[in-house]
Structure 1
Amino acid sequence: MAKNKNNRLPIYAVIFTVTFKLLFLLTHYIQEDAFITWRVAQNLLDYGVIGFNGETKISASTTHLYVFVSYFFNLIFGKEHFVEPLLIFNSILFTIGTLFLAHLTLKNPWHKAVFIFLVGILPPSIKISILGMEYGILFFLEMALLYYGFSKGKKWALILLPVLIMFTRIDTIIFLGIVFLVDAFWNRKIRWNYVFGGILGLIWTLSFNWLYFGELVNNTIVAKKLLYEHHFTFAQNLKYFFISFGNFWGMLKLPGNFNPVTIIILIFELLCFIYLIRQRDKRNYFLWMIFIFGWAKQIIFISQKSLFDWYYWVPQLLLFVPVLIFVLEQKEKRNVWLSLLVVFYILPMTLFQTIHSIATGNGEWNYRRKIGLFLNTYEKDKNQWILLEPAGYVPYFSGLKAIDEVGLVDKQIQTEIKKDKPHYWINTVKNRKPKYLLSYKNLFEGDDTEYYQTHYQLLKEFRIKDHLKSDSKILEKIYHFKPSGTDYNLYVRIK
């Protein structure tokens, strides 16, 4: 009886961890890009088209599977009430993924339970669960593949899960490829079911893109590459690397380029990994998979100048797994090791993420969302266009058609970028004549001032300093300690 109760401990840990993380829903910290995916899902609901602006097809979201999941949540719960159920669903799936990972790397039920909770409250885990991105589903699918496909040897998992994984994000070919290489090297044979699943996933995703959108890869990838592509010298590449350094192993971005916390964690992760793989244990098979993937994903993405921190959430977690295993399996002074880890790392990280979530939630939900709500009330004609960046909160809550500066949700601006990149913004304004412009800059100063003053008038200024107040003195201190948001000027076209 006692053994059965202990075996249920990891399940109890999943329930407790999910419940604990739901407190972060109160911060209203939702990633801007989540609203792009949700708008695409609602566009599918309203127009029967995967797009962003009415009946125009465009792969504005980086993830197809999550678009369909979001579509069903909108269908079931309605547009006004789907967000919280979807975030809870994401959190549950992610935490079940950590359960699979615990089963792959640990034997003791108590160790698994502690592992699930400690992984679950790290900053990337909280963001994966609560910020509305597709990584909760993705992490669940990837860990399910390792657990059911490579640990349990289920053929259905080896065929079906690669298809779902790649349909979630096409860049998961990195994960699938690393898993294949480690498995083939470790077992000295090829799992042809897995090869078939991978080929099927690639064919399915590329075919869907080509047949539906007329493109092989998602528009988001094409648009970012087009706008952000630069030719850097070695010195510039090195500077770029240090700017991105906090995205790698540290989970914590500190001001400046030098981050001692990141370096300490990097060294400790490597030492723990080396210590564990020196032991003769079949779980090393999975440790090699997740550790090589963590490094490969980060190196590939930083080489492509990918600064967005969500690309690094899953690698950050997987690279930290050896540290948790090392601490939990210490036979002598385990409690001392665990206490040191919790006091000097887990708790500070959780506190940091709490402050970050509260401050950023204020900047996004209480500030940027209100710009969209203002426009929703002010402009009743939802066929009017707004040119802005980014295309998340404001288009979603205003209901207006949108042209974003990068071209994620509107392909026509990419044509202007190709023709005349330095002047694509003003050329888009002249050619498309959007009714609204939302800009970080004062358009009545600098280049093209005369055109803007002739054709547009300032409608409203939005300033982040006006949203750093709260009836709670603690919240107000957090808002001022880490102000989040950008000043905007909203312009309306003169008739």
Structure 2
Amino acid sequence: MAENNNKNIPLYAVIFAVIAKLYFLLTHHIQEDAFITWRVAQNLLDYGVIGFNGDTKISASTTHLYVFVSYLFNLIFGKENFIEPLLILNTVLFTIGSLFLSHLLLKNPWHKAIFIFLFGLLPPSIKISILGMEYGILFFLEMALLYYGFKKEKKWALVVFPVLILFTRIDTVIFLGIVFLVDVFWNKKIKWFYVLGGILGVSSALAFNWFYFGEIVNNTIVAKKLAYDRVYTLNQDFEYFRLNYGNFWGMLKLPGDFNPITIIIAIFELLCFIFLIRQSEKRNYFLWMIFLFAWTKQIIFLSQKSLFDWYYWVPQILLFVPVLVFVLEQKVKRNWWLSALIVVYILPMLAFQTIHSIATGNGEWNYRRSIGLFLNNYEKDKKQWILLEPAGYIPYFSGLKAIDEVGLVDKQIQEEIKKDKPNYWLNTVKKRKPKYLLSYNSLFEGKDGLYYKTHYKLLNEFRIKNHLQSDNKILEKIYKLKPSGTDYNLYEKIKD
């Protein structure tokens, strides 16, 4: 009986880990791009089309599977009430994924329970769980593949999970490829069912893009490549890496261009990994998979100048896995190691993420959402267009049709970028004549100021400084300590 209870301890840890993170829902820290996915899901609900603006098809979201999941949650709970249930689902799935991971790496049920709880409290885990992106589902699917496909050796898992993973994000081909290479090197044979799963996954994702959208690669990838493309010299590449690596290899972003904490943690992660793989354990098979994947993905994405921090959440948390395993398996002074880890690292990281989420939630939910709500109340004709960046909160809460600067949700602006990148914003305004413009800058100043003064009027100025107050003095101190948000100027087209 006692043995059965011990087996259930990791399950209890899953429950406690989920509950422990739910207070982050109160911060309203939700990633901007989540609202793009949710708008696509609601567009599918309203128009029967995967798009962003009415009946125009466009792969505005990076994830197809999460669009369909979001669609179901909108259908079941309604547009006003689906967000919290969906965020809870993401949290539960991520935590079950961490349970699978604990089964791959640890034997002692108590070790698994501690692993699940501490693993779930680290900043990337919190962001994967609560910020509304597709990574909760993705982490669950990836760990389920490793557990059922490679530990339990279920052939169905080797076929089904790669399809679901690739339909969630096409860049997961990196994860699937590293797993394949490690498996072949380790076992000296090829799992042909896994190869079949990979072929079906890639072909189904690409076929869906081609037959539904008329494109091979998601529009989001094409748009970002076009908008952010720059030619760098080798020296500039090195300088770029030096300035940015610290904020993506570690678990937190720090001001400045040098992050010594990241270097210390990265070295400790590497040392723990080396120590563990020197032991003759079956779990080294999975340690190699997750560690090589984490390093490979970060190197690839950073080399491609991909600075969106959500690309790095899963690699960040997987790189820290050897540290947790190392500490939990210490035979001498384990409690000392564990206490030191919690006091010196886990709790400070949790405190940092709490402050960060409160401040960012204020800047996004309280501030940026208020711009969308203002427009929703001000403009009743939802067929009107707004040109802005980014395309998350404000289009979602305003209900207006949107042209974003990057072209994630509107392909026509991509053509303007191709024709005349320095002047594409003005050319889009002249050609499309959107009723509203939302800009970080004053459009009435500069070389094109006369055109804007002639055709548009300043409707409202939105300033982040006006959203740094709170009746709660602690919250107000956090808002002012880490102000999050950007000043905007809103312009309305003058009637002809």
- TM interval, shorter chain, is over 0.9
Distance 2:434 2:50 in 1: 23
Distance 1:111 1:405 in 2: 49
Q: Report the more deviating stretch, 96-105 or 233-242.
A: 233-242
Distance 1:377 1:249 in 2: 42
What is the SS of the residue equivalent to 1:139?
helix
**Aligned partner letter, 1:59:** S
Q: How much has 1:489 moved relative to structure 2?
A: 0.1
Distance 1:176 1:405 in 2: 33
- Which residue does 1:410 correspond to in 2? 410
Q: How much has 1:236 moved relative to structure 2?
A: 1.7
CA contact (8 A) 1:367 1:467 kept: yes
- Which residue does 1:240 correspond to in 2? 240
What is the SS of the residue equivalent to 1:86?
helix
Q: Tell me the C-alpha RMSD between the 2 structures.
A: 0.6
1:233-286 deviations in whole A, cap 9, x for unaligned?
122212221232234332011111111100000100010000000000000000
Alignment of 1:296-375 (within 5 A): 296-375=296-375
1:403-443 deviations in whole A, cap 9, x for unaligned?
00000000000000000000000000000000000000000
- Which residue does 2:162 correspond to in 1? 162
- Which residue does 1:486 correspond to in 2? 486
Distance 2:394 2:270 in 1: 43
CA contact (8 A) 2:247 2:254 kept: no
CA contact (8 A) 2:248 2:309 kept: no
- Which residue does 2:32 correspond to in 1? 32
- Which residue does 2:49 correspond to in 1? 49
**Aligned partner letter, 1:211:** F
- Which residue does 2:287 correspond to in 1? 287
What is the SS of the residue equivalent to 1:113?
helix
**Aligned partner letter, 1:472:** N
CA contact (8 A) 1:249 1:265 kept: no
1:202-247 deviations in whole A, cap 9, x for unaligned?
0000000000000001000000000101001122212221232234
**Aligned partner letter, 1:294:** A
Distance 2:326 2:485 in 1: 40
- Which residue does 2:11 correspond to in 1? 11
Distance 1:319 1:193 in 2: 28
Distance 2:248 2:402 in 1: 33
Distance 1:80 1:92 in 2: 21
What is the SS of the residue equivalent to 2:461?
strand
CA contact (8 A) 2:149 2:158 kept: yes
Are 2:253 and 1:253 equivalent residues in the alignment?
yes
CA contact (8 A) 2:45 2:71 kept: yes
- Which residue does 1:129 correspond to in 2? 129
- Which residue does 1:20 correspond to in 2? 20
Are 2:272 and 1:276 equivalent residues in the alignment?
no
**Aligned partner letter, 1:220:** T
- Which residue does 2:396 correspond to in 1? 396
Distance 2:230 2:260 in 1: 29
- Which residue does 2:84 correspond to in 1? 84
- Which residue does 1:433 correspond to in 2? 433
What is the SS of the residue equivalent to 2:280?
coil
What is the SS of the residue equivalent to 1:248?
helix
Distance 1:285 1:171 in 2: 23
Equivalent residue pairs, number:
495
1:103-152 deviations in whole A, cap 9, x for unaligned?
00000000000000111000000000000000000000000000000000
Q: Report the more deviating stretch, 255-264 or 480-489.
A: 255-264
Distance 2:32 2:243 in 1: 22
Are 2:204 and 1:204 equivalent residues in the alignment?
yes
CA contact (8 A) 1:10 1:109 kept: yes
CA contact (8 A) 1:375 1:398 kept: yes
Distance 1:19 1:301 in 2: 33
**Aligned partner letter, 2:160:** L
**Aligned partner letter, 1:244:** N
Unaligned runs of 5+ in 2: none
What is the SS of the residue equivalent to 2:57?
coil
- Which residue does 1:105 correspond to in 2? 105
CA contact (8 A) 2:247 2:259 kept: no
**Aligned partner letter, 1:156:** W
Distance 1:249 1:339 in 2: 24
**Aligned partner letter, 1:427:** N
1:146-185 deviations in whole A, cap 9, x for unaligned?
0000000001100000000000000000000000000001
**Aligned partner letter, 2:59:** S
- Which residue does 2:419 correspond to in 1? 419
Distance 1:186 1:51 in 2: 44
What is the SS of the residue equivalent to 1:8?
helix
Distance 2:224 2:88 in 1: 30
Distance 2:282 2:84 in 1: 40
Q: Percent identity?
A: 80
**Aligned partner letter, 1:301:** F
- Which residue does 2:449 correspond to in 1? 449
Q: How much has 1:27 moved relative to structure 2?
A: 0.1
**Aligned partner letter, 1:268:** F
CA contact (8 A) 1:97 1:143 kept: yes
What is the SS of the residue equivalent to 2:320?
helix
Q: How much has 1:389 moved relative to structure 2?
A: 0.1
CA contact (8 A) 1:247 1:312 kept: no
CA contact (8 A) 2:245 2:302 kept: no
- Which residue does 1:114 correspond to in 2? 114
- Which residue does 1:215 correspond to in 2? 215
Distance 1:298 1:234 in 2: 19
CA contact (8 A) 2:31 2:133 kept: yes
Distance 1:234 1:174 in 2: 25
Q: How much has 1:493 moved relative to structure 2?
A: 0.1
**TM-score using structure 2 length:** 0.99
**Aligned partner letter, 2:363:** G
What is the SS of the residue equivalent to 1:159?
helix
CA contact (8 A) 2:32 2:392 kept: yes
CA contact (8 A) 2:87 2:130 kept: yes
CA contact (8 A) 1:138 1:165 kept: yes
What is the SS of the residue equivalent to 2:441?
coil
CA contact (8 A) 1:62 1:220 kept: yes
Q: How much has 1:363 moved relative to structure 2?
A: 0.2
**Aligned partner letter, 2:419:** K
Distance 1:240 1:66 in 2: 32
Q: Report the more deviating stretch, 234-243 or 338-347.
A: 234-243
- Which residue does 2:67 correspond to in 1? 67
- Which residue does 1:175 correspond to in 2? 175
What is the SS of the residue equivalent to 1:391?
coil
The structure 1 segments of at least 4 consecutive aligned residues displaced by more than 6 Å after TM superposition are none
What is the SS of the residue equivalent to 1:490?
strand
